[in-house]
Structure 1
Amino acid sequence: MARPNEEVEALLQEYADLVTITGGDAYKARAYEKAARAIGGHHADVSRLDLKGLLDIPNVGKSIAEKVLEYLRTGRLAMVEEARAVIPAGVRELITIPMLGPKKALLLYEELHISSVDELLDAIHDEKLRDLKGFGAKTEENILHGIALMQQAGDRILLNAAMDVAEQIVADLSGVDGCERCTYAGSLRRMRETIGDVDILVAAARSGPLMEAITELPITAEVIAHGEKKTSIRTTKGLQVDLRVLPADAWGAGLLYFTGSKAHNIRVREIAVRHKYKLSEYGLFHAKSGKKIVSETEEEVYARLGLPWIPPALREDRGEIAAGLRDELPELIQEGDIRGDLHTHTDLTDGVATLQDMVTAAAERGYAYYAVTDHAPNLFMQRMTDAKILAQRKRVRELDGKHRRMHLLHGTELNIGPDGEVDWPDDFLAGFDLCVASVHSHFNQTRDELTRRLLRACENPHVSIIGHPTTRLIGKRRGIDADFDAVFEACARTNTALEINAHPERLDLCDEDILRARRYGVKFAVNTDAHSVTHLPYMRFGVGTAQRGWLTKDDVINTWPLQKLRRFLRKGRSG
């Protein structure tokens, strides 16, 4: 279930967008954006805070705090409803299109009376947008891609949102009398980046109490289907959840079947047929006699087919069956292998938590080391200066050792400029323990320009990690069009790690890119890019993505001991 913080964040961000659409006070819109982000990243549940507690959150003033209390008390916010009322519903639909933006949406409505995605597509087809100020062929291309992203996402939601729902339901159903086992399956268990619906499996002798229980959960908004073997509900957030109850002795076969993927299951069933078996969600049977052979655990089913247990993240029919038959499956990285996070932010730039709070939260996760990497000055809106970063370094050195067994590293996230240049000269960069370098702008350069830009960053002796390499935002922004095979080769050659950004909106690199990069011998860093303490647990999603890319802990630099990591970060530089 979404945290109250996330609900409030979405509402305040919507209001900021509505203010922008109507040409309202830009300062006011920015104030609500900042407050939205701060509340979304706040560690404490805002529904449990009073006015004083809300005012303690950075960027939340008295007026906004009172509005938050109004929403938490009544479930509505008058100013948002008033703003919605003066803006046509069609315009509000248009602003959901990635890469369009509120101002352009309003212009389309006012000048061309466009109030739906279909009308916008017709206008682009008829080239009606090109006479509008700020529009052109490139704008049309971007909008078309934004519509494609939106349509591709459909009703799918991000991995973390689906996980929140699934884990809450699993916890609730596990307490029902008669429930012997309960877990989630499907694409969520395989850690896919977006989820269409959630599959919940229960082992129980009687299905009735479980089927009834899920229909009565607070999260249930609608019962789609109610049966003895399967019940489907729609949650208050619009996500479909399918519950299936199996006999305990069919658990392993059922878990394998409902985890998928479909292509993986077909391969497994082909092997079963070759052995003259029949495999279903109820077990592995002799095809001729119908006698059950095994079904209680996945391990037993796989073993009877001559296979080792295959981790769910690999079950995509990308060679895992052949590797299993050859006993060549990788020993996948686990979240417990991660020794530290190498890309995080504080409120010195665009984070919402203090350095002290971020360090304390990292220590509570049991890390051996932790890096603070606030933005460098070329992202002008962050207002970084030499003096600010040096003062932070001094404070980091003071805090180092305060948390026993955790070493602090002082780094920065550099901006890779249009020509591949980065913030600060070499002598200044030499003072950092590590430098992450990322593309944050000029996404529409040519393929050659973007490629050269990334290659130059890889070749910089001070750049240890390329952050969120493709820059994609899932369902919102496509990745940049660079020759990533050339980038992968350069990373391997220059000892530059590629980041697997664990934020659920990024998961960048994605699993397919990881598989390609791995063939070049690239090393990786699984980082959260945390901007608040609540982002640090996103590490699990980065590790899940790394698993889908077949990575072991040897492939990932932040599983290494600190001394080995430091050698890598130096990239051959002396000292």
Structure 2
Amino acid sequence: MARPNEEVEALLREYADLIAITGGDAFKVRAYEKAARAIGGHPEDISRLDADGLRDIPNVGRSIAEKVVEYLRTGTVSVVEERRSRIPAGVRELVAIPTLGPKKALRLYEDLHISSVDELAAAIEADALHDLKGFGEKTQENILHGIALLRQAGGRIPLHLAMDAAEDIVAELSEVKGCRRCTYAGSLRRMKETIGDIDILVAAARSAPFMDALAALPSTAEVIAHGAKKRSVRTTKGVQVDLRVLPPVSWGAGLQYFTGSKAHNIRTRTIAVRQGLKLSEYGLFDVDSGTSVASRSEEDVYARLGLPWIPPTLREDRGEIDAALRGELPELVTERDIRGDLHTHTDLTDGLAPLETMVTAAAERGYAYYAVTDHAPNLYMQRMTDEKILAQRERVRALDGAHRGMRLLHGTELNIDPEGEVDWPDEFLAGFDLCVASLHSHFDLDRKAMTRRLVRACENPHVHVIGHPTTRLIGKRPEVDADWDEVFAACARTGTALEINSQPDRLDLCDEDILRARQYGAKFAVNTDAHSVLHLACLRFGVGTAQRGWLTPKDVVNTWPLSRLRRFLRKDGSV
């Protein structure tokens, strides 16, 4: 079950959709969308706030706060129920179809009672729209094409797939003659866990060569929009890519503008207006004279606004502007800060590579230390035994320091059973350098039982890290239902680190959970959970997620020197 913040976020987003579909005011739609984002990203449990406390959240005004209070008190909101009664939920599916907006979706429902993508496709195939004004042959053809693309794309793009596609395109366009700068922007640059579309920016004097080059890429399936400075294409995998070519002098302003988020940009534009300036993708201009006062670099733009440069991963309007104004932006953790990986697997269990191969690859990444943590016996399909794990320990000890001086830790990934117990007795667990404990089954326990289960694991003196804590799989499995505030407090109290699992289908903890856990003083471990050599490179996604959670090196235990890490692993408060 989602926590109250997420429930309310979903409710407000739904209400915004319903307003749009029923022809409501666009300003009102945007207001509810912004409030939904703010509540979803708020670190505190909103169920503990009254109306005044809710109004302290950015973009939450009196009317919205009253609706949230009503929902938290009754489980429903009367105005949402009224809108729902006017139109089936399936109509909202229609709005997601490219070229079909809210007005056309509403016409289809009111005139033909069409309330789903499948019904619309069937109606077009049956020629049921031929008498409907505004739905001529070409429009119907476009809608069918949009439906096919929607089904092909399957929604938002996972971060790693979007990154792969973007980096390939950037590499290709960077080779085009006249390219001064080229990079990706948007939510991808902000390292969001899923991406709606890919924004690519180029700085060049002429745009045409880059527009042509993008259209000619083997990965491009079709050009869907084009203009003098912008071209949009759909890739063979159904991903939309938007290319914008900027004058080199406008590079910094354009990069800031197209990185977003929208909410962050609204705040920066507001600051500009207060200073008699206008901020756009082309620069920061004096309103009276029209003179450009900053544009070449993001640093210049932010400095002219009286701000330090703000890392893209913070640009979500979650307090970064105010922190910047106070000079309190965090020095975010980076990949360079990570001294070692504390959760990895070999082919002794479900990994793909042998111990020596994984160790060699880790050493090549420049790690100071590296933990091997194969699965314990209660994950029965892995067939672990005492003899196997002890034999591995001997091999680990023999390899310790043999690869570029990298120190090895012998660990295991334990299974947290429904009662919070883990594999092996205390005396056996005491022989490991490091124990990661994770949920691998019984995901449907009720909140009280799940919370007790996780807290008990934290209280185990041999458990050092809670692996992929919520067990979510992005787009496939929701997080387990637990009182996370109680779990996070237990981690801080017991000196148990929370993992930020870098696998791109997990990214668990997510940024919002990190923000909450950080308030309790919990520590974190950014690990790859690598099951192959290639997985070691996923660290970048975990670090990006950690940055979105405002973490610094002092918050992340595997940025610490080995001597300090070993003190932390004693769980006696001696760090």
TM-score when normalising by structure 2? 0.73
Kindly indicate whether residue 427 of structure 2 is the aligned counterpart of residue 427 of structure 1: yes
| Offset from partner CA, 1:36-70 (integer Å, 9 cap, x none) | xxxxxxxxxxxxxxxxxxxxxxxxxxxxxxxxxxx
| Offset from partner CA, 1:114-154 (integer Å, 9 cap, x none) | xx9989xxxxxxxxxxxxxxxxxxxxxxxxxxxxxx99x95
Q: Please state how far the C-alpha of 1:402 moved relative to its aligned partner.
A: 1.3
**2:268 counterpart SS class:** helix
Aligned equivalent of 2:384? 384
Aligned equivalent of 1:447? 447
Aligned equivalent of 1:336? 336
Aligned equivalent of 2:305? 305
1:325 is matched by which residue type in structure 2? L
Change (3 A) 1:573 1:553: closer
Q: Is the 8 A contact 1:372 1:411 kept in 2?
A: yes
User: 2:539 and 2:187 mapped to 1: Cα distance?
Assistant: 18
1:555 is matched by which residue type in structure 2? D
Q: Is the 8 A contact 2:495 2:573 kept in 1?
A: no
Aligned equivalent of 2:541? 541
User: 1:409 and 1:338 mapped to 2: Cα distance?
Assistant: 15
In the TM superposition, 1:151-170 aligns within 5 A as 154-170=154-170
**1:162 counterpart SS class:** helix
| Offset from partner CA, 1:505-564 (integer Å, 9 cap, x none) | 000000000000000000000000000001000000000000000000010000000010
1:189 is matched by which residue type in structure 2? R
Aligned equivalent of 1:405? 405
**1:396 counterpart SS class:** helix
Q: Is the 8 A contact 1:269 1:279 kept in 2?
A: yes
Compare relative contact order (CA 8 Å, sep 6+) and give the higher one, 1 or 2.
1
User: 2:307 and 2:196 mapped to 1: Cα distance?
Assistant: 29
User: 1:407 and 1:243 mapped to 2: Cα distance?
Assistant: 46
| Offset from partner CA, 1:49-98 (integer Å, 9 cap, x none) | xxxxxxxxxxxxxxxxxxxxxxxxxxxxxxxxxxxxxxxxxxxxxxxxxx
Q: Is the 8 A contact 2:229 2:245 kept in 1?
A: yes
Kindly indicate whether residue 208 of structure 2 is the aligned counterpart of residue 208 of structure 1: yes
User: 2:221 and 2:351 mapped to 1: Cα distance?
Assistant: 35
Aligned equivalent of 2:318? 318
**1:225 counterpart SS class:** strand
| Offset from partner CA, 1:174-221 (integer Å, 9 cap, x none) | 000000000000000000000110000000000011111111111111
Structure 1 runs of 4+ with >2 Å offset: 116-119
1:318 is matched by which residue type in structure 2? R
User: 1:573 and 1:414 mapped to 2: Cα distance?
Assistant: 23
Aligned equivalent of 2:514? 514
User: 2:375 and 2:420 mapped to 1: Cα distance?
Assistant: 16
**2:288 counterpart SS class:** coil
User: 2:155 and 2:443 mapped to 1: Cα distance?
Assistant: 27
Change (3 A) 1:288 1:569: same
2:318 is matched by which residue type in structure 1? R
Aligned equivalent of 1:223? 223
**2:160 counterpart SS class:** helix
Aligned equivalent of 1:497? 497
Change (3 A) 1:545 1:573: closer
User: 1:416 and 1:438 mapped to 2: Cα distance?
Assistant: 6
User: 1:117 and 1:232 mapped to 2: Cα distance?
Assistant: 24
- Which region of structure 1 is more displaced relative to structure 2, 563-572 or 429-438? 563-572
Aligned equivalent of 1:278? 278
1:543 is matched by which residue type in structure 2? V
Consecutive unaligned residues of structure 1, counting only runs of 5 or more, are 1-115, 120-149
2:464 is matched by which residue type in structure 1? S
In the TM superposition, 1:87-166 aligns within 5 A as 154-166=154-166
Q: Please state how far the C-alpha of 1:393 moved relative to its aligned partner.
A: 0.5
Q: Is the 8 A contact 1:189 1:312 kept in 2?
A: yes
Q: Is the 8 A contact 1:466 1:498 kept in 2?
A: yes
Q: Is the 8 A contact 1:527 1:539 kept in 2?
A: yes
**1:301 counterpart SS class:** helix
**1:238 counterpart SS class:** coil
Aligned length: 428
2:503 is matched by which residue type in structure 1? H
Q: Is the 8 A contact 1:455 1:487 kept in 2?
A: yes
User: 2:118 and 2:352 mapped to 1: Cα distance?
Assistant: 39
Aligned equivalent of 2:182? 182
**1:514 counterpart SS class:** helix
User: 1:503 and 1:571 mapped to 2: Cα distance?
Assistant: 27
Aligned equivalent of 2:436? 436
1:389 is matched by which residue type in structure 2? I
1:360 is matched by which residue type in structure 2? T
Consecutive unaligned residues of structure 2, counting only runs of 5 or more, are 1-115, 120-149
**2:471 counterpart SS class:** coil
**2:436 counterpart SS class:** strand
Q: Please state how far the C-alpha of 1:404 moved relative to its aligned partner.
A: 2.1
**2:209 counterpart SS class:** helix
Aligned equivalent of 2:243? 243
Q: Please state how far the C-alpha of 1:573 moved relative to its aligned partner.
A: 9.3
Percentage identity across aligned positions?
Answer: 77
Q: Is the 8 A contact 1:345 1:374 kept in 2?
A: yes
Aligned equivalent of 2:296? 296
Change (3 A) 1:265 1:573: closer
RMSD: 1.6
TM-score when normalising by structure 1? 0.73
| Offset from partner CA, 1:428-457 (integer Å, 9 cap, x none) | 000000000000100000100000000000
User: 2:273 and 2:570 mapped to 1: Cα distance?
Assistant: 54
Q: Is the 8 A contact 1:461 1:573 kept in 2?
A: no
2:247 is matched by which residue type in structure 1? P
User: 1:345 and 1:356 mapped to 2: Cα distance?
Assistant: 12
Q: Please state how far the C-alpha of 1:225 moved relative to its aligned partner.
A: 1.6
User: 1:270 and 1:227 mapped to 2: Cα distance?
Assistant: 29
Aligned equivalent of 1:47? none
Aligned equivalent of 2:459? 459
Q: Is the 8 A contact 1:471 1:479 kept in 2?
A: yes
Aligned equivalent of 2:59? none
Aligned equivalent of 1:572? 572
Aligned equivalent of 1:351? 351
Q: Is the 8 A contact 1:211 1:227 kept in 2?
A: no
1:170 is matched by which residue type in structure 2? V
Q: Is the 8 A contact 2:330 2:552 kept in 1?
A: yes
Q: Please state how far the C-alpha of 1:223 moved relative to its aligned partner.
A: 1.2
**2:242 counterpart SS class:** strand
